[in-house]
Structure 1
Amino acid sequence: MSLRQTPVALALSVAFPLVFAPATPPAFAQSVTPASPPAPSQAATGAKLSATAPAASPAARQAAPHTAPPTAPQAGSDAASQPASHPRSSAATSAPTQPLGDITVSATRTERATTAVPNTVTVITRKDLDRRDARDLKDLLSDEVDLSVKAMTPRFTAAGASTGRAGNEGINIRGLEGNQVLMMVDGIRIPQSFAFGPFASGRADFVDLDSLSAAEVLRGPASTSYGSDGLAGALVMRTLSPDDLLKDGKTFAGYAKLGLQTVDSSRTASTALAFGSGDWSSLIQASIRRGHETRNQGDDHAANSTRTAPNPTDIDTRSVLAKLAYRVNAANRLTGTAEYRERKIDTDVLTGLTVPTATPAATAVIGLTANDRMDRKRVSLEHRYEDLNALWVQQATTQIYVQDSQTEQYSYEDRNTAADRTRYTDYQEHLIGLSTQAQTQWQNQRLSYGVDVSRNHIEAVRDGTVPPAGETFPSRPFPKTRYQLAGAFLQDEIEFGNVSLIPALRFEHYRLTPDTTGYAGQAVKLSDHALTPRLGAVWRATEWLQPYVQWSQGFRAPTPDQVNNAFANPLYGYSSIGNPNLKPEHANSWELGVRGGLGKDVRWQLSAYDNRYRDFISQEVVSGSLATANLVYQYINLSQARIKGAEARAVWDVATGLSLHAALAYAEGHSTVDGVESPLNTVQPLRATLRARYERGDWSGWASLQHSSRKKASDISSGGSTAAPFAPGAYQVVDLGGAYRINPTLSLSAAVTNLFDRKYWRWGDVSGVAANSTVLDSYTAPGRALQVSLRADF
């Protein structure tokens, strides 16, 4: 699938907003030394602000007293939606779980210290990414007590179950997951997850960690900043830029890395090269990973459905990122980006085979193979204007982009004497968009305002042989749909001495327009709008007491398959119809917290939140009955939900080079349908982590202890099943890692996960599994595993 041509009119209409601002410095800028023009190597994306310039707001310069001021933050290639890389204190570099003292961009779409935002944000820098050397997002976020990534062991079938086929499905933030969490790379939305029958496409595997410069996790509704989605929060990622490598005046820099991991017998090679010449700079980054199935602790290797060991799998992943940046003049920069990622998975699905008997049925499955492929490619062009001495507009960023993604899943089922079956599903998204944002600063406040517009063409096709009774192939699970989003936001950051007040408001309009070509059912259009306000406040009362509070609202527009899920099976007497009156899901959230420090060696944060959701979308029977065999299904706004919890985080600098990090999170939640409450299975049990980090000279090391409490039976919904759900017990897992710099060029790192080879189940990976299942061991987490990498920097 090739990228389609971007409409020129869309690019030209708002490509360069307000870039010719007056040069008279405002009162706010007069209090500091003006920023000097960037060095020749500091072109386009990633151009650093001068160390003497403000970090874009008074609050960003007023980091907590225990932390050095965040001077010279790395400006992201899209300041409107991307995290910034920046220097960190020795304590702050100890672990990704540390939410104190970093610079965040995702929380307000402007640079602010995480100690100056009214909610909880995790900032993961490139140094954190290199230190953790994680395979994927699931590994990277494993120490975060209020986050998880669902990835069930694959046990799918050819025409029925899709268990585990989606891979790393997506991120769970404080009890919500899937498409209810916003995921972005360089300000561009990651493709949505989608499931229908045996097909399931996740989201987290579309991201290559080696290509990232930084990532941020934002808790709480993100609609005021980014529009639809993000009911629970957002994962906002930024890719590498030339300036991430071209430091200290270098015109050439790069790295090469080789790695081995026993958990999936994988081998990894990654490299990045950056070049700078005058006003031009460029970067090329590529990575390859070849591996096999992720190991669990199942020991039944039978070639049938009783198997608990993972299915034999070959996984081949390739990623390429290229950037070209040009500094037009001291205030204007252009950056072009091209990115490609492909992932192929070939599986011998032994768990889908029928248990042998003396007289096997004609439809007994004697062989099942699957070939899955997913890819994401995008091109983008960004213009960035920055002049801190300008009178009206000090910064403006505009990005236009095109992104294509595709997920193909094919399976072949060899049956005893009955006709063999095949299934093929192709899910595609073609996204084109524009995002622009500007900032105006005065003496004690900063206005941010912007517009985001996107149009996503979404379609899916099902095909194969021996279709179910009453169906014909090929068919579409939903019509081709043009999904449009258009929004505008306004935010003010006001500083009253030691108090920051941050009000914001966004208006968003969405429209779903179906195309019934090749679609057998009826289709309906849907359009609506939403207004999402947010209000936050931070009070830096004393060094050891800094309370904050935030109230925010969010929404998620219905997806194309929810609005139009028309399907009919007359033989079995059921059908589904569209719903032109489907409303978006809404969130109403409060977070109250306090941060502080005890001297310069201890920092801590306590927070509590109460998130209320309404108009959850659910597919229900709206007419007919089993007796009359004319059931009609429809997606409707049905349930309400509430999730509340509390979290604690602390950092202690024990001695020079040695620090301890601790975190604890507890949450509870339920949904309400027709006045009846049920537990929310997506809410995690109580979790805690304790992490130690030591760094001295050429040596560094870390150790972490992860604890998860037992999920209580009363906190688990059976989902209407008569079988009792499986409730995994509590567990503690210890991981160790370290690194040694052999010389200025070479460094060696190694880590051991699950050091004591503990057998355990992660709640997010077993939700929905019955307690009487005979294959519970197939859902266990990996046992002891080793990973080693050798890196050369030049």
Structure 2
Amino acid sequence: MVVRRSRSVLLACTAFLALGLGTASYAQTTNQNDATADKAAPKSDRVTELKPIVVKGKASKDVLADSPTATETTAKEIDDNQITRIEDLGRSTEVGVGFDRTSGSVNIRGLQDDRVLTTIDGIKIPFLLDGAREADGGINSFDFNTLSTVDVVRGSDSSRAGSGALGGAFVLRTLEPEDLIAPGSTWGGVFKFGYNGDDRSIDGSAAVAKRIDNTAVLFEGGYTHGHELQNNGDVGGYSTKRTEADPADYNQRNGLFKIRQYTDVGTFGVTAEHFSKDTDTDWRSKQSPTGNFRPGNYDETDGIERNRVSLDYKYDADSADSLIDTANAVFYWQNLLRENGAEGYRYTSVIGDYWRRNEVEDRSIGFNGNASKSFDTGNLHHNVTFGLDVAFANTHQYSAGGDSCDLPRWAASCAFLHTNQSDMPDVDGKRVGAFIDDKIEIGSSSFSLTPGLRFDWYDYSPKNTDAYRDSANYSGLPSGQSDTRFSPKLRAAYQPQNNVELYAQWAMGFRAPDVSELYLNYGVPGGYVSYGNPNLKPETSNGVEIGANLGDDDFGGHIGGFYNKYKNFIDSERSVDPTGTYPLGITEYFNRDNVRIFGVEVNAHKKFDNGIHIKGALAYANGKDSDTGEWLDSVAPAKAAFTVGYATEIWGTDLTFITATSEPKKDGDSFRTPGYGIFDLTAWWEPEQVKGLSLRAGVYNIFNKTYYDALNVASTSLTQPHEFYSEPGRTFKLTLTQKF
């Protein structure tokens, strides 16, 4: 069965490549007469006509972002709003987007972790779930200075995205040479320098692109050095009374290289990308003058690194007679590594040196491609889009460490020292997805229907390793899991005029279980244990949404409402061990039968002729277990932002009010985050005397309000006073940008 499926994958890839080659051949045939005439001319009279670089806007969008529920943040808006982290989006352009710093995940419509799909240039960035040792996350392994756009796709729709897009998709596109090279020029560049007061960081980046004939190259690099993210606590010292953030230092590096070859049959390219961030924290909240870890002798380490190399292809037809209108394809290799650990010296329990280095790594190779074609059948106009996604990945988890326990690792006094082992087997994963949808416009009625269907197959194969066999709970290799899923959708839209779109959509989605949820085996007899569940079922969703996109850049907005139901929602719970083998309890993953989330999203903006502009946005979601009535911790309270500003051609300023409601009452919660309201003031200046120079500055949380982000509190064990978990108080940002 595995062999047959692998052959099917290869045949599908071959078919897609054959289609691309057929397109190239067709394009060459349509230009055959011109090519023949050129060959007949004397060599000295031939002229090499450079194909211009054209930014085609919407035509170049990622296929996932082609949706009425998607919104785009451009590189200019990233600069204008001084966005350096994902949470900055939720404070400016994307009020409904959150970021959980504990798990390292994007939150859209009340879902996060691997229920929100993150892609960069069409390549999935996997969310890594450690399950036991806090080496989670990985999707924030990019620098905003490398991005051309950020598209946020809201809603449960797997018809194009595949597994993991239950809450939506976070779609990133990196800079292309044409983003830097102005029309009529052969080169361009940008230099940025900034200071961010919320972590006292200084960053610099530079990007340059050059075009020589029909070849273009791009280089980008950046470096940031910073410290701990500030909170609004004012009590220093050590242990559980500390409210100030623990001191930290971090270094962040990124690099991007691209080469593009523009031809009559499309654009071919090579991309190489690197990102790394290392953080060292003086873990004072875990230290005590008389405790096991003393001042200056307990540090936390945290690291993330992502590397990828990809081969890219893009095609936009010059004629409606082409076999296909557009095509995009990427072959890639990617490696993502998350590390977390600690180092110190024990004074009272198992006296001596202590250290841990925990890691989760995902290595993948794959292909992602799509194409589209428009044609008419009678009174119907069709725009068919289809695609293929194939990936092979290996997931590896390991914990290394040392301590001064002289007894065997599993002895009672060493029960919590189990390390130098894997808490799950290595897992080889395969996935294949294929989709097709057809936007059918009915005559001149301005009405369209878009049916769509996606097929997904995944397969997990656990592999035994010496490190896994050496774990305390090893009882043999768990079984693998394989499943298939069809995800249909149907969207209806009515566009009575260019700046008005009404839509309604029904869509289904799914998420395959994470390998950690299936195969985690962490713990030791005499203590506690966390088990994966190899019998978990994939999550599925069934949702409806209605909404409207109105107006244009000067005056417009969006309003939408959604209702989603989820089956087999994966969660974990702790229970008492009736045998007494694990006296501190057993934690195990399970499927919830029924979960529902509903909500509304509204935004509007208006620009006046006198330079004044206003805008506002609101996001609200409500999520519960339909059977038990339990609230979902991942659903943030309602949040809104309102901005009034003034702009001329050379300077402008904005005052933004951001507010959120209090967290709903939840059973067993010791702390409900209160509602808040904060003000941000920003300004920019582009002096006429220096072409391409811009200065931006901002004062954030002007009145130094103590407030809390519910997402960062909900998933955190509250061992400190509440102020320890507060967001930054009054901070300042300054950014200088020079474009060439």
TM-score grouping bracket, smaller chain normalisation: 0.7 to 0.9
Deviation, 1:703, is 2.0
Identity of aligned residues (%): 28
| In structure 1, C-alpha distance between the alignment counterparts of 2:324 and 2:498, rounded to whole Å | 34
* Aligned-partner residue type, residue 98 of structure 2: S
| In structure 2, C-alpha distance between the alignment counterparts of 1:383 and 1:305, rounded to whole Å | 55
Deviation, 1:202, is 2.1
Give the TM-score normalised by structure 2: 0.87
Picking from 565, 580, 594, the partner of 1:612 is: 565
Deviation, 1:316, is 0.5
* Secondary structure at the counterpart of residue 88 of structure 2: helix
Taking a change above 3 Å as real, the CA distance of residues 183 and 569 of structure 1, as seen in their structure-2 partners, is same
Greater mean alpha carbon deviation, residues 775-784 or residues 621-630? 621-630
Are 1:781 and 2:720 an aligned pair?
no
| In structure 2, C-alpha distance between the alignment counterparts of 1:578 and 1:310, rounded to whole Å | 33
Q: Is the 2:683–2:697 contact (alpha carbons within 8 Å) kept by the matching residues of 1?
A: yes
Tell me the alpha carbon deviations over residues 230-273 of structure 1, each in whole angstroms, 9 at most, x when there is no partner.
11100001000001011212111101111112211111111100
Tell me the alpha carbon deviations over residues 364-390 of structure 1, each in whole angstroms, 9 at most, x when there is no partner.
787201232221000000122322423
Q: Is the 1:145–1:664 contact (alpha carbons within 8 Å) kept by the matching residues of 2?
A: yes
Taking a change above 3 Å as real, the CA distance of residues 136 and 40 of structure 1, as seen in their structure-2 partners, is farther
| In structure 2, C-alpha distance between the alignment counterparts of 1:620 and 1:739, rounded to whole Å | 50
| In structure 1, C-alpha distance between the alignment counterparts of 2:397 and 2:716, rounded to whole Å | 28
Q: Is the 2:162–2:454 contact (alpha carbons within 8 Å) kept by the matching residues of 1?
A: yes
Deviation, 1:515, is 0.7
Which residue of structure 2 lines up, in the alignment, with residue 428 of structure 1? Answer: 361
| In structure 1, C-alpha distance between the alignment counterparts of 2:568 and 2:361, rounded to whole Å | 28
Which residue of structure 2 lines up, in the alignment, with residue 68 of structure 1? Answer: none
Q: Is the 1:535–1:551 contact (alpha carbons within 8 Å) kept by the matching residues of 2?
A: yes
Picking from 290, 307, 317, the partner of 2:242 is: 307
Which residue of structure 2 lines up, in the alignment, with residue 211 of structure 1? Answer: 146
Which residue of structure 2 lines up, in the alignment, with residue 483 of structure 1? Answer: 429
Deviation, 1:576, is 5.8
Which residue of structure 2 lines up, in the alignment, with residue 240 of structure 1? Answer: 175
Are 1:449 and 2:433 an aligned pair?
no
Picking from 491, 502, 510, the partner of 1:555 is: 510
Q: Is the 2:209–2:219 contact (alpha carbons within 8 Å) kept by the matching residues of 1?
A: yes
Q: Is the 2:640–2:660 contact (alpha carbons within 8 Å) kept by the matching residues of 1?
A: yes
Which residue of structure 1 lines up, in the alignment, with residue 596 of structure 2? Answer: 642
| In structure 1, C-alpha distance between the alignment counterparts of 2:579 and 2:721, rounded to whole Å | 32
- 1:607-756 to 2 correspondences below 5 Å: 607-620=560-573, 625=578, 634-672=588-626, 675-713=627-665, 716-718=666-668, 724-742=669-687, 743-756=690-703
| In structure 1, C-alpha distance between the alignment counterparts of 2:58 and 2:592, rounded to whole Å | 45
Give the TM-score normalised by structure 1: 0.81
| In structure 2, C-alpha distance between the alignment counterparts of 1:74 and 1:445, rounded to whole Å | 18
Q: Is the 1:501–1:537 contact (alpha carbons within 8 Å) kept by the matching residues of 2?
A: yes
| In structure 2, C-alpha distance between the alignment counterparts of 1:395 and 1:344, rounded to whole Å | 40
Deviation, 1:640, is 2.1
Which residue of structure 2 lines up, in the alignment, with residue 409 of structure 1? Answer: 340
Which residue of structure 2 lines up, in the alignment, with residue 370 of structure 1? Answer: 300
Are 1:564 and 2:519 an aligned pair?
yes
- 1:463-542 to 2 correspondences below 5 Å: 463-466=400-403, 468-469=414-415, 472-496=418-442, 497=444, 498-518=446-466, 519-520=468-469, 521=474, 522-541=477-496
Picking from 114, 119, 135, the partner of 2:84 is: 135
Which residue of structure 2 lines up, in the alignment, with residue 191 of structure 1? Answer: 126
Are 1:147 and 2:80 an aligned pair?
no
Tell me the alpha carbon deviations over residues 275-313 of structure 1, each in whole angstroms, 9 at most, x when there is no partner.
001110010011111111111110011133321111111
Taking a change above 3 Å as real, the CA distance of residues 385 and 684 of structure 1, as seen in their structure-2 partners, is same
Q: Is the 2:177–2:217 contact (alpha carbons within 8 Å) kept by the matching residues of 1?
A: yes
* Secondary structure at the counterpart of residue 655 of structure 1: coil
Which residue of structure 1 lines up, in the alignment, with residue 45 of structure 2? Answer: none
| In structure 1, C-alpha distance between the alignment counterparts of 2:664 and 2:418, rounded to whole Å | 45
| In structure 2, C-alpha distance between the alignment counterparts of 1:632 and 1:346, rounded to whole Å | 32
Structure 1 gap segments, 5+ residues each: 1-6, 27-37, 49-71, 83-104, 109-116, 152-163, 719-723
Q: Is the 2:653–2:683 contact (alpha carbons within 8 Å) kept by the matching residues of 1?
A: yes
Q: Is the 2:87–2:97 contact (alpha carbons within 8 Å) kept by the matching residues of 1?
A: no
Taking a change above 3 Å as real, the CA distance of residues 149 and 337 of structure 1, as seen in their structure-2 partners, is same
* Secondary structure at the counterpart of residue 194 of structure 1: coil
* Secondary structure at the counterpart of residue 420 of structure 1: strand
| In structure 1, C-alpha distance between the alignment counterparts of 2:715 and 2:451, rounded to whole Å | 40
Q: Is the 1:365–1:414 contact (alpha carbons within 8 Å) kept by the matching residues of 2?
A: no
Deviation, 1:776, is 0.6
| In structure 2, C-alpha distance between the alignment counterparts of 1:476 and 1:277, rounded to whole Å | 51
Which residue of structure 1 lines up, in the alignment, with residue 22 of structure 2? Answer: 20
Tell me the alpha carbon deviations over residues 707-764 of structure 1, each in whole angstroms, 9 at most, x when there is no partner.
1111232xx243xxxxx42112221111111111122132211111111211111211
Are 1:459 and 2:413 an aligned pair?
no
* Secondary structure at the counterpart of residue 129 of structure 1: helix
Which residue of structure 2 lines up, in the alignment, with residue 62 of structure 1? Answer: none
Q: Is the 1:589–1:612 contact (alpha carbons within 8 Å) kept by the matching residues of 2?
A: yes
* Secondary structure at the counterpart of residue 517 of structure 2: helix
Deviation, 1:616, is 1.1
| In structure 1, C-alpha distance between the alignment counterparts of 2:701 and 2:402, rounded to whole Å | 44
Aligned length: 684
Deviation, 1:580, is 4.0
Q: Is the 2:282–2:296 contact (alpha carbons within 8 Å) kept by the matching residues of 1?
A: no
Taking a change above 3 Å as real, the CA distance of residues 246 and 8 of structure 1, as seen in their structure-2 partners, is farther
Which residue of structure 2 lines up, in the alignment, with residue 351 of structure 1? Answer: 285
Q: Is the 1:366–1:416 contact (alpha carbons within 8 Å) kept by the matching residues of 2?
A: no
Taking a change above 3 Å as real, the CA distance of residues 464 and 233 of structure 1, as seen in their structure-2 partners, is same
Which residue of structure 1 lines up, in the alignment, with residue 163 of structure 2? Answer: 228
Greater mean alpha carbon deviation, residues 683-692 or residues 629-638? 629-638
Structure 2 gap segments, 5+ residues each: 1-8, 31-47, 404-408
Which residue of structure 1 lines up, in the alignment, with residue 42 of structure 2? Answer: none
Which residue of structure 2 lines up, in the alignment, with residue 3 of structure 1? Answer: none
Q: Is the 1:516–1:523 contact (alpha carbons within 8 Å) kept by the matching residues of 2?
A: no
Larger helix percent: 2
Q: Is the 2:91–2:641 contact (alpha carbons within 8 Å) kept by the matching residues of 1?
A: no
Taking a change above 3 Å as real, the CA distance of residues 392 and 545 of structure 1, as seen in their structure-2 partners, is closer
| In structure 2, C-alpha distance between the alignment counterparts of 1:276 and 1:371, rounded to whole Å | 42
| In structure 1, C-alpha distance between the alignment counterparts of 2:543 and 2:593, rounded to whole Å | 17
Q: Is the 1:698–1:740 contact (alpha carbons within 8 Å) kept by the matching residues of 2?
A: yes
* Secondary structure at the counterpart of residue 135 of structure 1: coil
| Superposition RMSD in Å | 2.9
* Secondary structure at the counterpart of residue 758 of structure 1: coil
Taking a change above 3 Å as real, the CA distance of residues 140 and 331 of structure 1, as seen in their structure-2 partners, is same
Taking a change above 3 Å as real, the CA distance of residues 308 and 633 of structure 1, as seen in their structure-2 partners, is closer
Taking a change above 3 Å as real, the CA distance of residues 136 and 123 of structure 1, as seen in their structure-2 partners, is same
| In structure 2, C-alpha distance between the alignment counterparts of 1:622 and 1:402, rounded to whole Å | 41
Taking a change above 3 Å as real, the CA distance of residues 24 and 469 of structure 1, as seen in their structure-2 partners, is closer
* Aligned-partner residue type, residue 762 of structure 1: D
Taking a change above 3 Å as real, the CA distance of residues 344 and 471 of structure 1, as seen in their structure-2 partners, is closer
| In structure 1, C-alpha distance between the alignment counterparts of 2:281 and 2:293, rounded to whole Å | 21
Tell me the alpha carbon deviations over residues 564-611 of structure 1, each in whole angstroms, 9 at most, x when there is no partner.
123452334x656654432111111111113435x9964233211101
Taking a change above 3 Å as real, the CA distance of residues 260 and 494 of structure 1, as seen in their structure-2 partners, is same
Tell me the alpha carbon deviations over residues 761-789 of structure 1, each in whole angstroms, 9 at most, x when there is no partner.
12112125689x65111111111111112
Tell me the alpha carbon deviations over residues 466-510 of structure 1, each in whole angstroms, 9 at most, x when there is no partner.
464187431111111111110110110111231121111000000
